[in-house]
Amino acid sequence: ALTREVDEGALEELEMSLLASDLGVTTTTEIIDALRERAKRQQIRDGAELKELLKAQIKGILDDQQRPPHVVNSPPEVIMMVGVNGTGKTTTTGKLAAYFRAQGKSVLMCAADTFRAAAIEQLEVWGQRSGVEIIKTRQGGDPSAALFDALQAAKARSNDVLIVDTAGRLHTKNSLMAELDKMRRTTQRIVPDAPHEVLLVMDATTGQNGLQQARLFTESAGVTGIVLTKLDGTAKGGIVVAIARELELPVRFVGVGEKIEDLLPFDSAAFVDSLLGA
Amino acid sequence: MFENLSEKLQRAFKNLRGQGTISEENIGEALREIRVGLLEADVNLNVVKDLIEHIRAKAVGQEVMTALSPTEQVIKIVRDELIALLGKDTARFQFASKPPTVILMAGLQGSGKTTTSGKLAAWLQKGGHRPMLVSVDVYRPAAREQLKVVAKSIKANLYEGDTKGEVAGTPLVERLAKEARREAVISGCDTLIVDTAGRLHIDEDLMGEMESLKKLLSPQEILFIADSMTGQDAVKSADEFHKRLALTGIILTKMDGDARGGAALSIRHVTGQPVKFIGMGEKPDAFEPFHPDRIVSRILGM
Ligand SMILES: Nc1nc2c(ncn2[C@@H]2O[C@H](COP(=O)(O)OP(=O)(O)OP(=O)(O)O)[C@@H](O)[C@H]2O)c(=O)[nH]1
Ligand SMILES: Nc1nc2c(ncn2[C@@H]2O[C@H](COP(=O)(O)OP(=O)(O)OP(=O)(O)O)[C@@H](O)[C@H]2O)c(=O)[nH]1
Ligand SMILES: [K+]
Ligand SMILES: [Mg+2]
Ligand SMILES: [Mg+2]
Instruction: Select from A22, A25, A172 the Cβ nearest to the Cβ of B231.
Output: A22
What is residue A108's predicted lDDT score, i.e. its pLDDT? 98
pLDDT in tens, A217-265: 999 999 999 999 999 999 999 999 999 999 999 999 999 999 999 999 9
Mean of the per-residue pLDDT values of chain A: 95
pLDDT at A2: 46
pLDDT confidence bin for A162, thresholds 50/70/90: very high
Phi, psi of A12, deg, nearest 5 = -65, -40
Mean pLDDT score, A117-138: 96
- Say yes or no: CB of residue A121 within 6 Å of ligand 1: no
Q: Determine the Cα angle at B176 with ends B172 and B181, to 5°.
A: 150
- Where helices occur in A159-252 by DSSP H, the ranges are 174-190, 209-221, 239-247
CA B163 to each of CA B172, B248, B255: distance values in angstroms, whole numbers, following the listed order:
7, 30, 35
B50 CB-near residues (< 8 Å, 6+ apart): B269
Per-residue tens of pLDDT for chain B, all 302 residues = 345 677 777 777 776 665 677 888 888 888 999 999 999 999 999 999 999 999 999 988 887 776 677 788 888 999 999 999 998 766 678 889 899 999 999 999 999 999 999 999 999 999 999 999 999 999 999 999 999 999 999 999 999 999 988 999 999 999 999 999 999 999 999 999 999 999 999 999 999 999 999 999 999 999 999 999 999 999 999 999 999 999 999 999 999 999 999 999 999 999 999 999 999 999 999 999 999 988 999 998 87
* Closest C-alpha to B104, from B193, B227, B188: B193
Binary contact (A21, B232; C-beta < 8 A): yes
Nearest to A117 among B150, B201, B234 (CB): B150
State the average pLDDT over residues A21-46.
93
Q: Give me the pLDDT at residue B156, please.
A: 98
Residues of B in contact with A230 (CB under 8 A): 108-110, 200
Distance from the CA of B128 to the center of ligand 5, in angstroms?
A: 25
- CA A132 – CA B187 distance, rounded (Å): 42
**Portion of chain A with pLDDT greater than 90, in percent:** 88
Sheet holding B249-253, edge to edge: B157-159, B131-135, B191-195, B101-106, B221-227, B249-253, B275-279, B287-289
CA-wise closest residue to B108 among B196, B6, B213 = B196
Residue B164 has what pLDDT? Answer: 83
Q: CA-CA distance, A59 to A255, in Å (whole number)?
A: 19
C-beta of residue A160 within 8 angstroms of C-beta of residue A100: yes
CB-based contact A116:A123 (threshold 8 Å): no
E strand map for B83-220: 101-106, 131-135, 157-159, 191-195
Q: B2 phi and psi, to 5 degrees?
A: -85, 140
- Determine how many CB atoms are found less than 10 A away from the CB of residue B145: 19
A259 CB-contact burial (10 Å; exposed 0-12 / middle 13-18 / buried 19+): exposed
> Which chain B residues contact residue A20 at CB under 8 A?
45, 232
Per the CB < 8 A criterion, the answer to whether A239 and A202 are in contact is: yes
Of A123-127, A152-156, A159-163, B15-19, the poorest mean pLDDT is in: B15-19
* pTM of the full structure: 0.96
Residues B186, B207, B94, B129, Cα dihedral to 10°: 40
pLDDT tens digits, A190-228 = 999 999 999 999 999 999 999 999 999 999 999 999 999
Q: What is the pLDDT of residue B2?
A: 46
* ipTM of the shown complex: 0.96
Predicted pLDDT of residue B213: 98
Residue A1 has a pLDDT of 39
B110 lines ligand 1 (CB under 6 A): yes
Residue A3 pLDDT greater than 60, yes or no: no
